[in-house]
Amino acid sequence: MKNIYDNEMKLEFLSKSSNEAFARITVAAFASQLDPTIEELADIKTAVSEAVTNAIIHGYEDMEGIVRIMARIFANTIEVEVSDTGKGIENIDLARKPLYTTKANLERSGMGFTIMESFMDEVQIESVLGLGTKVKMKKMIKKIPLNEDAEELAR
Amino acid sequence: MEVEYEKEQKTLKIEITEEIDHHYADKLRRKIDNEITRYMPRKTIFDFARVSFMDSAGIGMIIGRYKMMKLIGGELEIKNANESVDKILEMSGIKKIVKLVG
């Protein structure tokens, strides 16, 4: 069966906060084949960091679990799925609200989903209480058109 | 993290040298709070020149320290934030309460 995607990768790791940097750097390295700008790459890193942090502190709370990331490239779009098999989100609409947090005691700002939504083109959340949460995000990497001189040079 | 205290100006300068995510924010917050309670400065300056990455964990950390400085009658300033950090500061509304320089 032919894969409809141009490229795909999977990543699994323990829900330890020390893996947050590992996750965002790995996804950014995968995304870099689309030749994103520094800003686009920073956006992807930040969104992944938010989703992975959510899986660790909300999905699994203090328990240990596995965080899974699937990333796919199709044409000039990157799709990143971050999932956990933790406790799930009771009210997704509320969780998406800016400044809403269930962990204010930990100085969480409640801006996680807001950042994901504004840094990516599309964010979908699927969650079942007791079974886990999946966050699916998409971002289109805009190609910067070369001007004529640059095209000339590139020949 | 590098710390410098200017006694005459009662200014605490903290240069943050690592990426600020949830993992590091916990440690960072404890270290900074130690310095603030130790010096009770009139002004605390966070130098972000070497911070290449910050997510929403940084927002919580900054707002917490802002409240702490307010509580002791001081102020908080942020300098040298790069473009991507600046974007987060803008979104979170931190720019409305904390002075940004450089």
Mean residue pLDDT of chain B comes to: 96
Domain-located, residue A1: no
Domain extent listing, chain B: 2-101
Residue B32's contacts (CB-CB under 8 Å, 6 or more residues apart) are B1, B14, B61, B65
Domain-located, residue A2: no
Query: A15 versus A147: which is more confidently predicted?
Result: A15
**pLDDT score of A108:** 87
For chain A, give the secondary structure using H, E and C.
Answer: CCCCCCEEEEEEEECCCCHHHHHHHHHHHHHHHHCCCHHHHHHHHHHHHHHHHHHHHHHCCCCCCEEEEEEEEECCEEEEEEEECCCCCCCHHHHHCCCCCCCHHHCCCCCHHHHHHHHCCEEEEEEECCCEEEEEEEEECCCCCCCHHHHHHHC
Q: Which residues are registered as beta bridge partners of A124?
A: A136
Mutation choice for B interface testing from A41, A67, A109, A117 by most B CBs within 10 A = A109
Residue A152 has pLDDT above 80, yes or no: no
- Among B10, B12, B18, smallest CA distance to B36 is for B12
Contact: B83, A39; criterion CB under 8 Å: yes
d(CA A31, CA A25) in angstroms, rounded, equals 10
Annotated catalytic residue, options A20, A54, A72, A81? A54
Q: Percent of chain A at pLDDT above 70? A: 91
> ∠ CA A119-A122-A124 to the nearest 5 degrees?
115
What pLDDT digit, counting tens, does each position of A73-118 carry?
A: 999 999 999 999 999 999 999 999 998 999 888 888 899 999 999 9
Residue B55 has pLDDT above 80, yes or no: yes
What is the rounded average pLDDT of the residues B53-75?
96
| Dihedral sign for Cα atoms in the order A102, A107, A53, A27 | positive
Domain-located, residue A96: yes
In the structure encoding, which two tokens stand for residue B60, read together?
């919580």
A 10 A CB-CB count for A48 gives 28
Domain-located, residue A73: yes
Per-residue confidence at A1, pLDDT binned at 50, 70, 90?
A: low
Chain B residues whose CB is inside 8 A of the A111 CB are 56, 59, 91-92
d(CA A22, CA A111) in angstroms, rounded, equals 21
- Among B38, B31, B34, B36, smallest CA distance to B16 is for B31
Say whether A90 is catalytic. Answer: no
Q: Give the distance from CA B67 to its chain's centroid.
A: 11
Say how many domains are in chain A: 1
d(CA A48, CA A119) in angstroms, rounded, equals 10
Residue A154 has pLDDT above 90, yes or no: no
Contact: B59, A45; criterion CB under 8 Å: no
> Domain holding A26: CATH number?
3.30.565.10
Burial of B8 from C-beta contacts in 10 A (0-12 / 13-18 / 19+): exposed
End-to-end CA distance of chain A: 37
Pick the range with the lowest mean pLDDT from A138-142, A145-149, B98-102: A145-149
In the structure encoding, which two tokens stand for residue A25, read together?
């750097």
pTM over 0.90: yes
Residue A65 has pLDDT above 90, yes or no: yes
Does the predicted interface ipTM exceed a cut of 0.90?
yes
**pLDDT score of A145:** 62
In the structure encoding, which two tokens stand for residue A94, read together?
């509320």
Range(s) of the domain holding residue A106: 7-154
C-alpha radius of gyration, chain A, whole number: 17
Annotated catalytic residue, options A68, A108, A117, A126? A108
* Top-level class of domain B2-101: alpha beta
